[in-house]
């Protein structure tokens, strides 16, 4: 186990470990290395290969790598062997993501997991469409009838506690988004909103049976005996009236809050029967009955509120279960899965029988054991897990069987290695479970000594001394942490904390913390800092890190518009909706499908696209819309969008930005088209939700959230958004209480703060959740600060000395602000510099960016001898061109096609007609009776043969004649490649074998209307026969005029001469 | 007879050499190869060979009687007896039927977890998987049952194979009951006893590096009676490079270097789009791509990107001879929609059908339907109003709606008719009839690309349908949705070939490239797993088992691909060039690695090669700043002479948005609507209250219970009338919400009545006759309720409000100036100080009502809201106490100001800040930069399009 601090080289360690295992003789395909992001997974392999290549290149490289992997003495040649081995096994290597590995398992065990076949991974768009289908089913419940809908309605009412909601779809979507994870963690209804589970020893509020009217009367009597000021009297009366009107479940009136708070403040005293209770701003001494009545009223209020929350939670469960049941049946069980579903399948959350165990036992599994080695063609001896702090408990449970096998290997030839940084655990909201790190260590080391060896790394190879010094000051000041934050959060932090050291002691850099009260001033400071440091012109990478996604766009706008900086957002951009082209295309599609949408129509008419359609297309926009529908259905959305973009482009209506967006929109459309869907509403929604990531480039300032920055490093980091709520605050939403085995104990829609604080169970849960949140916040700030290599600029609001906020600013202020801020002009802005470490002008030591070398010119392409690619033509292509739908979809015409083939076939058996021919054909009838249509085809041929002219056409014209029957040909004529088959050709030769004459006979077996004159029927074939004649002329060396050409209409038994 | 091997040089292109080889004994006349059977690797290879033969013959002014050209896959079906072997459809059906018949619990080794449902889609999915396994096994001549019996003992998963064998037996029995054989078993038999046309005198295996093992068995058997020649395009030395069938031997190729010398031939693209871009740039640089170049796509994912990038970057089309997947064709999509409708006759899915050209054209052909735009407007309007869940409900409601929804009713009836027809009989029987009916007299022009594609798709469909019709199992073919599922499953994997444009570059799959003779070859998708093609893991046939059974495995494929790459490079060494493009990530973002074959170089070169191939991907381009390519120019419409009272408020809030919402009537359609919007919810409550106000007896009642009962009953009627009896959950909830609000309203009504207030009029309209004129406009309005107090004689007018919040009338008419408001931008008439606070008018409804009822009720009539908010305890009458003659005067002045501005056509500038802005998506927060205000004063636009 390696606990590695930021920048101390986790990937470096992991790749070294990989190479070391190989050096010790492990086959690379027996080493599995898993991480969380696909990007990181890709980098592993590149890094391993590059390291080995470096070691192969020269002795010094080999020596350095040998030392790094602690295998002294390994030489270049050995590294070369390893490199070659690695390359030859490339396809077998498992260096990927946990999600990818789990998917492979599910893909290879579909029937074991109750699927019908290979699963399909749903992308975001598909998930959204599936969810809408599920909602529709949940809402309408076709087949389930009124009762099921009523049940759902009742659940829904309970979940929303009767507060009517008009946007039900939106609300259900929100429920599912927010609580689906909780449902899957606790799919049993008896965990949701059950008082007995939450308070096994009972809850005083719920137990109290109070008649409020009686208690109010007692108090009335009690206050009557006291002298109340007019304000006290007024406050009391308002409280009394409000309470009188209040019904359990309704929100409390404002007038009730203060008195209830004051009762709680005097709670302990009230229990004694004598208390000073504040009413109307003044203390009032109450005793005896009065005390009891006050206590009882609060019990009544709290009890009712808790009862409501219990019911809401149970309602929520029923709603989620209804959704989940339909989702499971409609989507998951049909094998359409998200990565979350895959984990559900593997962790057994969807099955009744519990989770399967993964193992490597060579294929002979049993019960719930899935032996992965056989089916995955892989046996893993060595497990390397990266970013382990982000591993979730469910993920670990899936892996644990496999890891158990490793650690229990009797020969000890297998290994388990995990690395991560408990200080960077910022994915708890995505089920990342940082506690696992230590629990696993303790579990495997329990009793048996040191099966897992711990190593800590705190020397940063990323950040320079100024940054490291600042990080140490902020996170190593335990006194400040102790004073500000919950004890358990700080304790956990300390356990993972080591004072950091900078590996590159001489790296120039600086950290500056400035404060300004106004938002405008802070924005200006951001711009001025960038101007001062000028990172891009110095060839330095630079990132602006923020907490929220919304801020990314704000800052992006500020830097682009006001600062004129080249900037990219490492956040998602939405090409379908964030620009005029996307908007107009959306309107066009929307209008095409919904011509009554006046919004879309008028929007179109405001743009060149709509105006031109209205002016130039006959029928105006309505016809243009219909064309769009037709194109969409015929060729897909990408084709339809490309048409419109080309139209705008050809009219000169697109600028550079829109052209970039056009490419992105087309990529979106192509992606959508792959689903085969043609529903415009789905596409318009897809386009609106489609997002892409602007990827980083050293030529631009990158703006991103701290979460996105994890794993990255930048020369310069600016943190301009450090405000926000207190750190120790439970995440909003359901309370999900788990035991140490992560099993859910209970779920509750948490009540208001007053109640939580005054209930032992809820308060304990709240404190734990707040401490977890606080720890995660520490991690977030730590990640933000440790992204900086050389310099970091913190910009924030001044913290008032009286402030009791326990947020980032407070922490930074307490640890960095020595109390004597220096007022300084930074560019055009006056600001207080409260902290500075390193050389403020460090950037002057950095030389300008190296000119990037000109890209190597493409090698000149030699003019190679070209080769024409000819179009392949068949004579039948020259036939009549219109195919009526009636014949296209006619079974009869298919039958007649088959029938025709059979007739052709029988004719092909006749070399020359002679008297035995009819008899031979009669024989076919019997011999090939099982072949469909034989008898009819034979009869037709026989009927033809009864015609003299036909018999003659099939008879030898002379002694030197020969026939070609069903003969294919390939020929290049006038640079055109012709390919086809003659039905029957007769060639006459002279005695020397030279061809003198030739004739073509083409069988037409379709039913020509007997009333149609044959020259009309014939005309459709003239083109085809002309091609045959040309080909035959070429093949025989005859003139075309020397070749006769006849059609034999078999149904009419008529021969028709086709004149050239 | 002995099998002879012949080697063609790897230094030249394959088609011309292959043609030369076949024509080597030809002297004069037409080149007659009719007695030769040539086995080639693919149909495309066959085409290339025939073209090359034609070219070779043309050089001597001759034509070719071509050989019989077959693929290895075809060779083993060559001798199938007609009608005796099950088609793919029949196999699938037999498997599906077998699976539906069995008790999966009896086959626990195959189904350790019992499936949740065992419907037809489950059976179909499972059947396809089992068919895949059976087909793979057959490649090596194996049956499922063989694996358990012959390979028993140390074989993993022996129980599973035994169970599979038992399932296979049941499946085969099912087929034999129908008097057909399993096609895979027929293939195995055919390979044992190959049947050829009698005139074949020789068999040539022409450069097939990776033949189906079963096909080799067939060739071997043929060699017993016919001469067989194996032609190999490769070096004859060292001798162990190829086996007797011309397959590269893995052992010999493993240690061989790939002769890619020039480092500049490697091009790294970030994703598939970038790969395509690089390929486009390379082609553009080569001068005459149409004549000289071809593009290989080892990774099919790159093809769509190439199809897009090539026309853009070098002005030429890319042609994919594989064609387009049938599943993206119009016909397939329509069948899918019909299947969905059969499974769930939802109104929304019916809307999709209506929007499909095939269906709407069929309606238009009928002649009794309006034009499409009008039809869709009617459909949407009906849905938006009635929210029917399914077609039955839709039909009931449309019938009730009468003339308004007549066309909708007709469409629904037509769709139900179609669905009824589809469900009536087996799919093979009903589908052709339905297709003919839908297509009517339509004709398809074979010279038109899209028509040809359409007919090709239709042809595939009809071949399939025809096959089902003739099948001995025709009677068991499912009907309705299951039947269409079957059709879709069978059609989905097929492709429709397209016509090759004259000026195009071919986009070829990896295995087609050996037969490509373009001198300039750009290979894309040269990433590991694509080249060499490697498979790891399989639910049934993992690599270890495949190898053991002698099926093609990764080593074979690696040797094949290495050989192919070497051939592609060497055959262009003298007069051509190969460029190699590979990607860093897939489209989904998965990391990719360059092909390991590219690293098979001299050992001393390896570090450099690693550096070259594993470099960081090129930085993405700098992004252009946000700009708008145009200014939006709203069309100009005239201001109507009559204006509703509520419009003044909207104008006051923002004149420009007023222009858009009230004059252009820009209202979106909520295509996902599942419930009433706020307006409709209010309308519903209004209608109940209106009915109450019109009931002469009840309106006098002060009995909350009686009033409440009336409300409830009326609400039931109204909801059932509009939405039918089967309500969706959201509508049920909304109905309950309305009921709850009305129940409270009943109490309030009773209280107010007790105070003497009696309704005198409801929904009292004014303005139609020009009673209220302001600034030359006739102002119209509808007052929800006029009532009079029986005790005091005072009048009161009330407006019903059902918004969630309980708003006071004043809040809707006036607001104080905000910090960001610039008073100078406000017209004088809009400003108003109230209670000493600077502010402005935001609505004029109630003051104008007062004005309108002056003649009837006198001056100073009380005005207010009857509110029915979400917090029902707050239900009540809220009167605007502060109304006064001065305020009325100011309001009138304001209305006159607005009227004058309307006359002047002043709709600009827009208000800076508005609360909720429905136009945000058009203006991106910079409305003033994006709109051309001059347009508002431009020429009048056209009105709604003509039908």
- Give the CA distances from residue B530 to residues A87, A376, A387, A925, B634, in Å, rounded to whole numbers and listed in that order: 15, 18, 30, 52, 52
Contact call for A634 and B328, based on CB within 8 A = no
B465 part of contact set with chain A, CB < 8 Å: yes
Q: Are A45 and A95 in contact (CB under 8 A)?
A: yes
A554-593 pLDDT per residue, tens: 898 788 778 878 787 776 788 999 899 999 999 999 999 9
- Give the CA distances from residue B463 to residues A144, B214, B487, in Å, rounded to whole numbers and listed in that order: 39, 27, 11
B231: which strand partners? B6, B206
Residue A606: per-residue pLDDT = 95
B111 part of contact set with chain A, CB < 8 Å: yes
Examine the pLDDT at A3 and tell me if it is beyond 70: yes
d(CA B14, CA A701): 53
Residue from B50, B285, B729, B916 to probe the interface with A (highest A Cβ count within 10 Å) = B729
Q: Concatenated DSSP letters for B147-176?
A: HHHHT-SS-TTHHHHHHHHHHHHHHHHHHH
Q: What is the largest CA-CA distance in chain B?
A: 124
Residue from A111, A146, A147, A859 to probe the interface with B (highest B Cβ count within 10 Å) = A111
- Give the CA distances from residue A655 to residues A645, A666, A678, A760, in Å, rounded to whole numbers and listed in that order: 12, 16, 29, 64
Q: Are B689 and B748 in contact (CB under 8 A)?
A: no
Examine the pLDDT at A419 and tell me if it is beyond 50: yes
The DSSP symbol for A877 reads: G
Determine the length of chain B: 947
Instruction: Find the closest chain A residue to B266 by CA distance.
Output: A858
Q: Which alpha helices (H) appear in B193-260, and where do they start and end?
A: 213-222, 250-254
Contact call for A142 and B389, based on CB within 8 A = yes
Residue from B436, B444, B629, B667 to probe the interface with A (highest A Cβ count within 10 Å) = B629
Kindly report the backbone phi and psi dihedral angles of residue B789, in degrees, each rounded to the nearest multiple of 5, phi listed first: -85, 120
Residue B208: per-residue pLDDT = 97
d(CA B579, CA A446): 58
Q: Record the tokens describing residue A278, joined without a space.
A: 């504040």
Beta strands in A20-86 (DSSP E): 31-35
Residue A930: which of B83, B432, B577 has the nearest Cβ?
B83
Residue with tokens 């949408």: A597
- Measured CA angle at A747 (ends A746, A748), to 5 deg: 125
Which of B908, B595, B882, B641 has the alpha carbon at shortest distance from B778?
B641
Contact call for A861 and B285, based on CB within 8 A = yes
- Measured CA angle at A623 (ends A619, A625), to 5 deg: 145
Window 812-831 of B: residues touching A by CB (8 A cutoff) are none
Q: Is-cis flag, bond preceding B238, omega within 30? A: yes
Q: What is this model's ipTM? A: 0.93
Contact call for B538 and A375, based on CB within 8 A = yes
Distance from CA of B438 to the nearest CA of A (A): 9
d(CA A155, CA A173): 15
Q: Which alpha helices (H) appear in A534-579, and where do they start and end?
A: 549-557
- Measured CA angle at B887 (ends B881, B888), to 5 deg: 105
Examine the pLDDT at A284 and tell me if it is beyond 90: no
Q: Are strands B36-39 and B202-206 parallel, antiparallel or unpaired?
A: parallel
Under 8 Å CB pairs connecting chains A and B tally to: 496
Examine the pLDDT at A665 and tell me if it is beyond 60: yes
Query: What are the chain A neighbours of B128 within 8 Å (beta carbons)?
Result: 117
Query: What are the chain A neighbours of B660 within 8 Å (beta carbons)?
Result: 602
A913-953 pLDDT per residue, tens: 999 999 999 999 998 888 888 999 999 999 999 999 999 99
d(CA B353, CA B360): 8
Which of B761, B814, B532, B32 has the alpha carbon at shortest distance from A968?
B32
Distance from CA of B829 to the nearest CA of A (A): 30
Contact call for A84 and B376, based on CB within 8 A = no
Distance from CA of A890 to the nearest CA of B (A): 6
Residue from B50, B391, B539, B737 to probe the interface with A (highest A Cβ count within 10 Å) = B539
- Give the CA distances from residue B748 to residues B493, B703, B799, B867, B874, in Å, rounded to whole numbers and listed in that order: 67, 10, 15, 10, 10
B54 part of contact set with chain A, CB < 8 Å: yes
Mean pLDDT, range A388-396, rounded to an integer:
93
d(CA A1043, CA A1021): 16
B370 part of contact set with chain A, CB < 8 Å: no
The DSSP symbol for A701 reads: E
Contact call for A53 and B669, based on CB within 8 A = no
Residue with tokens 């599910």: A106
Q: Record the tokens describing residue A84, joined without a space.
A: 């070659």
d(CA A695, CA B622): 10
d(CA B45, CA B32): 20
B739 part of contact set with chain A, CB < 8 Å: no
Helix (H, G, I), strand (E, B) or coil at A859: coil
Contact call for B446 and A877, based on CB within 8 A = yes
First to last CA, chain A: 89
Contact call for A697 and B620, based on CB within 8 A = yes
Window 892-911 of B: residues touching A by CB (8 A cutoff) are none
Residue from B466, B658, B669 to probe the interface with A (highest A Cβ count within 10 Å) = B669
Please state the pTM of the whole predicted model. 0.90
Query: What are the chain B neighbours of A171 within 8 Å (beta carbons)?
Result: none
Residue B250: per-residue pLDDT = 96
Sequence-separated (6 or more) residues with CB below 8 Å from residue A92: A28, A29, A377, A378, B534, B536
The DSSP symbol for A654 reads: -
A737: which strand partners? A746
Query: What are the chain B neighbours of A883 within 8 Å (beta carbons)?
Result: 443-444, 446, 455
Instruction: Find the closest chain B residue to A634 by CA distance.
Output: B330
Query: What are the chain B neighbours of A885 within 8 Å (beta carbons)?
Result: 435-436, 439-444
d(CA B689, CA B802): 12
B200 part of contact set with chain A, CB < 8 Å: no
Q: Concatenated DSSP letters for B483-539?
A: HHHHHHHHHHT-EE--PPPSSEEEEEEGGGGGG---SEEEEE--BTBTTTB-----S
Mean pLDDT of chain A: 89
d(CA A52, CA A56): 6
Contact call for B500 and A864, based on CB within 8 A = no
Contact call for A109 and B542, based on CB within 8 A = no
Residue A856: per-residue pLDDT = 44
Residue B329: per-residue pLDDT = 92
A136-172 pLDDT per residue, tens: 888 876 656 677 888 888 888 888 876 656 678 888 8
Residue B730: which of A56, A169, A560 has the nearest Cβ?
A169
A806-865 pLDDT per residue, tens: 999 999 999 998 888 899 998 888 889 999 999 999 999 887 645 444 444 444 455 566
Contact call for A168 and B518, based on CB within 8 A = no
Contacts 24+ apart (CB under 8 A), A945-950: A945/A913, A945/A917, A945/A918, A945/A921, A946/A1053, A947/A1053, A947/A1054, A947/A1055, A949/A1055, A950/A1048, A950/A1053, A950/A1055
Q: Are A52 and A64 in contact (CB under 8 A)?
A: no
B180 part of contact set with chain A, CB < 8 Å: no
Residue A45: per-residue pLDDT = 92
Residue A56: per-residue pLDDT = 95
Q: Record the tokens describing residue B838, joined without a space.
A: 């600077």
Q: Record the tokens describing residue B575, joined without a space.
A: 């007069």
Instruction: Find the closest chain B residue to A601 by CA distance.
Output: B666
- Give the CA distances from residue A602 to residues A607, A636, A644, in Å, rounded to whole numbers and listed in that order: 9, 25, 17
Residue B289: per-residue pLDDT = 86
- Measured CA angle at A843 (ends A838, A844), to 5 deg: 110
Query: What are the chain B neighbours of A968 within 8 Å (beta carbons)?
Result: 34, 65-66
Q: Are A817 and A833 in contact (CB under 8 A)?
A: no
Residue A871: which of B122, B500, B542 has the nearest Cβ?
B500
- Spans of chain B, pLDDT less than 50: 938-947
Contact call for B446 and A883, based on CB within 8 A = yes
Burial A631-653 (b: 16+ CB within 10 A, else e): bbbbbbbbbbbbebbebbeeeeb
Q: Record the tokens describing residue A229, joined without a space.
A: 């000021």
| B391-401 helix and B347-354 helix, angle to the nearest 10 degrees | 80
- Give the CA distances from residue A434 to residues A3, A399, A495, in Å, rounded to whole numbers and listed in that order: 12, 16, 12
Instruction: Find the closest chain A residue to B605 by CA distance.
Output: A57
d(CA A988, CA A1036): 10
B151 part of contact set with chain A, CB < 8 Å: no
The Cβ-side half-sphere exposure at B456, using a 13 Å CA radius, reads 21
**pLDDT tier for residue A908 given thresholds of 50, 70 and 90:** very high
Q: Are A721 and A797 in contact (CB under 8 A)?
A: no
Residue B554: which of A91, A590, A595 has the nearest Cβ?
A91
Residue from B257, B293, B520, B730 to probe the interface with A (highest A Cβ count within 10 Å) = B730
B365 part of contact set with chain A, CB < 8 Å: no
């Amino acid at each position: 186990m390696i606990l590695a601090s930021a920048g101390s080289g986790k990937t470096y360690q992991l790749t070294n470990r990989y190479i070391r295992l190989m050096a010790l003789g492990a086959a690379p395909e027996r080493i599995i290395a898993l991480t969380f992001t696909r990007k990181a997974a890709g980098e592993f392999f590149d890094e391993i290969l590059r390291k080995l290549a470096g070691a192969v290149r020269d002795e010094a490289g080999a020596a350095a790598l040998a030392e790094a992997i602690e295998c002294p003495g390994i030489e270049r040649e050995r590294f070369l062997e390893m490199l070659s081995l690695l390359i030859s096994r490339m396809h077998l290597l498992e260096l990927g993501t946990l999600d990818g590995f789990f998917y492979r398992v599910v893909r290879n065990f579909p029937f074991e997991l109750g699927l019908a076949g290979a699963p399909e991974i749903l992308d975001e768009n598909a998930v959204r469409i599936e969810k809408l289908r599920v909602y529709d089913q949940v809402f309408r419940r076709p087949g389930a009838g009124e009762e099921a809908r009523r049940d759902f309605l009742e659940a829904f009412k309970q979940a929303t506690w009767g507060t009517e909601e008009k946007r039900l779809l939106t609300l259900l979507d929100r429920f599912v988004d927010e609580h689906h994870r909780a449902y899957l963690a606790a799919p049993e209804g008896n965990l949701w909103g059950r008082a007995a589970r939450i308070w096994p020893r009972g809850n005083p509020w719920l137990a109290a049976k109070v008649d409020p009217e009686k208690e109010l009367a007692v108090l009335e009597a009690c206050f009557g005996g006291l002298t109340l000021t007019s304000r006290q009297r007024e406050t009391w009366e308002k409280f009394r009236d409000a309470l009188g009107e209040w019904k359990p479940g309704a929100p409390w009136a404002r007038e009730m809050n203060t008195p209830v708070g004051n009762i709680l403040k005097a709670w302990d005293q009230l229990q004694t029967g004598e208390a000073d209770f504040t009413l109307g701003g003044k203390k009032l001494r109450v005793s005896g009955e009065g005390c009891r009545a006050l206590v009882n009223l609060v019990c009544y209020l709290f009890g009712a509120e808790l009862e409501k929350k219990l019911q809401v939670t149970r309602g929520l469960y029923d709603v989620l279960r209804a959704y989940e049941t339909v989702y499971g049946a409609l989507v998951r069980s049909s094998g359409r899965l998200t990565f979350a579903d895959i984990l559900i399948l593997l962790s057994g959350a969807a099955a009744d029988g519990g989770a399967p165990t993964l193992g490597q036992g060579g294929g002979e599994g049993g019960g719930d054991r899935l032996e992965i080695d056989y089916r995955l063609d892989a046996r893993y001896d060595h497990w390397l897990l990266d970013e382990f702090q982000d591993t979730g408990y469910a993920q670990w449970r899936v892996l644990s069987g496999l890891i158990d096998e490793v650690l229990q290997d009797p020969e000890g030839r297998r290994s388990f290695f995990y690395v991560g940084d408990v200080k960077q655990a910022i994915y708890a909201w995505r089920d990342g479970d940082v506690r696992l790190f230590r629990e696993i260590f303790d579990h495997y080391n329990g009793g048996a000594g040191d099966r897992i060896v711990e190593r800590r790394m705190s020397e940063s190879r990323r950040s320079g001394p100024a940054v490291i010094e600042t990080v140490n000051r902020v996170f190593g000041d335990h006194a400040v942490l102790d004073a500000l934050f919950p004890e358990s959060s700080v304790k956990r932090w300390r356990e993972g904390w080591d004072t950091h050291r900078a590996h590159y002691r001489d790296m120039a850099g600086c950290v500056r913390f400035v404060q300004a009260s106004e938002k405008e001033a802070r924005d200006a400071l951001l711009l001025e800092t960038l101007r001062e440091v000028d990172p891009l012109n110095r060839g330095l990478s630079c990132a602006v890190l923020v907490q929220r996604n919304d801020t990314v766009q704000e800052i992006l706008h500020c830097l682009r518009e006001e600062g004129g900086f080249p900037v990219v957002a490492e956040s998602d951009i939405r090409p379908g909706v964030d620009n005029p082209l996307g908007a107009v295309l959306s309107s066009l599609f929307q209008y095409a499908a919904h011509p009554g949408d006046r919004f879309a129509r008028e929007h179109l008419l405001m743009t060149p696209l709509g105006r031109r359609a209205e002016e130039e297309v006959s029928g105006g926009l309505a016809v243009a819309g219909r064309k769009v529908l037709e194109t969409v259905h015929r060729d897909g959305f990408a084709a339809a969008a490309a048409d419109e973009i080309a139209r705008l482009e050809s009219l000169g209506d697109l600028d550079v930005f829109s052209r970039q967006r056009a490419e992105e929109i087309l990529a979106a459309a192509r992606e959508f088209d792959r689903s085969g869907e043609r529903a415009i509403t789905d596409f318009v929604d897809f386009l609106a939700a489609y997002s892409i990531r602007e990827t980083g480039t050293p030529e631009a300032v990158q703006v991103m959230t701290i979460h996105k920055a994890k794993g990255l490093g930048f020369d310069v980091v600016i943190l301009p958004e450090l405000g926000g709520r207190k750190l120790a605050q439970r995440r909003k939403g359901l309370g999900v209480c788990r035991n140490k085995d992560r099993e859910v104990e209970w779920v509750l829609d948490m009540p208001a703060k007053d109640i939580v604080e005054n209930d032992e169970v809820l308060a304990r849960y709240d404190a734990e959740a707040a401490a977890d949140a606080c720890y995660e916040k520490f991690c977030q700030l730590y990640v933000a600060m440790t992204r900086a290599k050389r310099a970091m600029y913190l910009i924030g609001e001044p913290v008032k000395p009286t402030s009791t906020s326990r947020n980032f600013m407070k922490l930074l202020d307490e640890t960095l602000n020595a109390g004597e801020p220096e007022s300084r002009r930074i560019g055009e802005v006056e600001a207080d510099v409260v902290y500075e470490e390193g050389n403020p002008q460090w950037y002057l030591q950095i030389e300008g960016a190296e000119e990037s070398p000109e890209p190597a010119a493409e090698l000149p392409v030699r003019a190679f001898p070209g080769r024409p690619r000819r179009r392949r033509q068949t004579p039948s292509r020259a036939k009549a061109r219109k195919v009526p739908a009636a014949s296209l979809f006619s079974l009869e015409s298919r039958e007649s096609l088959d029938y025709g083939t059979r007739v052709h076939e029988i004719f092909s058996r006749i070399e020359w007609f002679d008297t035995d021919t009819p008899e031979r054909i009669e024989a076919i009838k019997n011999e090939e009776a099982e072949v469909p249509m034989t008898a009819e085809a034979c009869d037709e041929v026989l009927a033809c043969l009864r015609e003299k002219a036909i018999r003659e056409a099939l008879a030898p014209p002379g002694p030197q004649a020969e026939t070609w029957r069903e003969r294919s040909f390939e020929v290049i004529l006038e640079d055109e490649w012709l390919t086809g088959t003659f039905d029957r050709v007769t060639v006459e030769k002279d005695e020397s074998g030279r061809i003198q004459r030739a004739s073509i006979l083409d069988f037409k077996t379709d039913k020509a209307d007997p009333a149609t004159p044959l020259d009309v029927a014939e005309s459709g074939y003239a083109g085809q026969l002309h091609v045959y004649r040309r080909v035959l002329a070429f093949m025989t060396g005859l003139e075309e005029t020397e070749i006769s050409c006849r059609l034999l209409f078999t149904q009419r038994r008529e021969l028709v001469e086709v004149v050239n | 007879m002995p099998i002879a091997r012949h080697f063609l040089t790897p230094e030249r292109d394959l088609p011309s050499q292959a043609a030369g080889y076949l024509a080597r004994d030809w002297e004069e006349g037409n080149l007659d190869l009719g007695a030769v059977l040539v086995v080639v690797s693919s149909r495309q290879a066959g085409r290339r060979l025939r073209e090359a033969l034609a070219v070779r013959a043309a050089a001597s002014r001759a034509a070719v009687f071509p050989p019989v050209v077959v693929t290895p896959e075809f060779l083993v079906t060559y001798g199938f007896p007609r009608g005796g072997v099950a088609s793919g459809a029949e196999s699938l059906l037999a498997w599906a039927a077998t699976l539906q018949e069995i008790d999966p619990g009896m086959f626990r080794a195959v189904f350790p977890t019992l499936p949740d449902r065992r419907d037809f889609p489950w059976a179909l999915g499972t059947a396809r998987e089992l068919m895949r396994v059976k087909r793979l096994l057959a490649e090596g001549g194996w049956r499922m049952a063989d694996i358990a019996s012959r390979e028993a003992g140390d074989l993993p998963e022996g129980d599973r194979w035994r169970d599979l064998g038992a399932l296979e037996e049941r499946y085969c029995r099912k087929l034999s009951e129908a008097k057909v054989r399993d096609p895979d078993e027929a293939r195995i038999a055919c390979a044992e006893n190959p049947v050829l046309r009698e005139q074949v005198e020789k068999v040539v295996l022409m450069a097939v590096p990776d033949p189906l093992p079963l096909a080799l068995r067939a060739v071997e058997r043929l060699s017993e009676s016919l001469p067989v020649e194996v032609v190999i395009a490769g070096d004859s030395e060292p001798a162990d490079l190829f086996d007797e069938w011309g397959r590269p031997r893995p052992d010999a190729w493993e240690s061989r270097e790939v002769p890619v010398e020039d480092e500049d031939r490697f091009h790294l693209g970030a994703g598939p789009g970038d790969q395509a871009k690089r390929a486009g740039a390379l082609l553009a640089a080569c001068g005459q791509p149409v004549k000289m170049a071809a593009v290989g796509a080892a990774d099919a994912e790159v093809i769509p990107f190439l199809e897009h990038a090539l026309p853009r970057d070098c002005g030429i089309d890319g042609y994919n001879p594989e064609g387009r997947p049938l599943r993206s064709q119009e016909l397939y999509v329509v069948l899918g929609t019909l299947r969905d409708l059969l499974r769930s006759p939802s109104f929304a899915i019916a809307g999709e059908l209506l929007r499909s050209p095939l269906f709407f054209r069929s309606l238009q052909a009928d002649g009794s339907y309006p034009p499409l735009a009008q039809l869709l407007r009617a459909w949407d309007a009906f849905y938006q109003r009635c929210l029917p869940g399914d077609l039955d409900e839709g039909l009931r409601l449309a019938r009730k709606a009468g003339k308004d929804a007549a066309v909708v009713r007709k469409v629904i009836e037509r769709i139900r008719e179609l669905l009824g027809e589809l469900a009536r009989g087996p799919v093979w029987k009903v589908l052709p009839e339905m297709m003919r009916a839908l297509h009517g007299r339509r004709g398809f022009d074979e010279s038109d690309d899209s028509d040809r594609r359409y007919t090709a798709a239709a042809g595939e469909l009809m071949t399939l349908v025809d096959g089902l019709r003739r099948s001995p199992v025709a009677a068991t073919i499912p009907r309705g949705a299951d039947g269409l599922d079957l059709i879709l499953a069978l059609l989905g994997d097929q492709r429709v070939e397209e016509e090759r444009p004259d000026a195009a570059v071919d986009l070829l799959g990896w295995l087609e490239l050996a037969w490509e003779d373009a001198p300039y070859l750009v290979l894309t998708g040269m990433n590991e797993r694509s080249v060499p093609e490697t498979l790891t893991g399989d639910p049934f046939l993992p690599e270890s088992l495949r190898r053991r059974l002698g099926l093609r495995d990764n080593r074979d494929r690696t040797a094949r691909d290495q050989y192919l790459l070497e051939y592609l490079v060497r055959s262009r060494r003298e007069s051509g060039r190969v460029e190699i493009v590979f990607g860093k990530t897939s489209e989904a973002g998965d990391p990719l690695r360059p092909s390991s074959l590219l690293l098979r170089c001299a050992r001393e070169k390896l570090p450099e090669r690693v550096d070259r191939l594993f470099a960081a991907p090129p930085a993405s381009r700098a992004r252009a700043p946000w700009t708008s390519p145009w200014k939006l120019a709203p069309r100009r419409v005239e201001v109507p002479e009559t204006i509703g009272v509520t419009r003044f408020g909207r104008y006051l809030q923002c004149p420009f948005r007023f222009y858009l919402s009230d004059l252009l009537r820009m209202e979106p359609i909520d295509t996902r609507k599942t419930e009433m919007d706020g307006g409709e919810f209010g309308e519903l409550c209004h209608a109940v209250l209106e009915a109450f106000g019109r009931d002469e007896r009840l309106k006098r009642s002060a009995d909350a219970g009686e009033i409440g009962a009336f409300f409830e009953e009326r609400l039931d009627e109204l909801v059932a009338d509009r939405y039918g009896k089967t309500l969706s959950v959201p509508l049920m909830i909304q109905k309950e919400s309305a009921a709850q609000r009305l129940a409270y309203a009943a109490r309030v009504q009773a209280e107010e009545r007790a105070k003497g207030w009696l309704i005198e009029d409801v929904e009292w309209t004014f303005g139609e006759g020009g009673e209220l004129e302001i600034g030359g406009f006739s102002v119209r309005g509808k007052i929800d309720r006029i009532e009079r107090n029986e005790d005091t004689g005072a009048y009161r007018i009330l407006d019903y409000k059902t918004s969630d919040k309980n708003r006071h009338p004043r809040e809707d008419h006036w607001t104080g100036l905000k910090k960001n408001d610039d008073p100078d931008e406000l017209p004088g008439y809009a400003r108003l100080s109230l209670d000493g606070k600077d502010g402005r008018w935001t609505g004029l409804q109630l003051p104008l009502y007062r004005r309108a009822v002056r003649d009837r009720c006198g001056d100073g009539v009380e005005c207010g809201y009857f509110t029915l908010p979400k917090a029902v305890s707050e239900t009540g009458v809220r009167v605007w106490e502060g109304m006064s003659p001065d305020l009325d005067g100011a309001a009138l002045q304001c209305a006159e100001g607005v009227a004058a501005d309307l006359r002047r056509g002043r709709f600009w500038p827009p208000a800076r800040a508005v609360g909720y802005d429905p136009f945000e998506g058009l203006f991106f927060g910079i409305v003033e930069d994006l709109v051309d205000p001059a347009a508002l004063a431009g020429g009048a636009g056209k009105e709604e399009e003509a039908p």
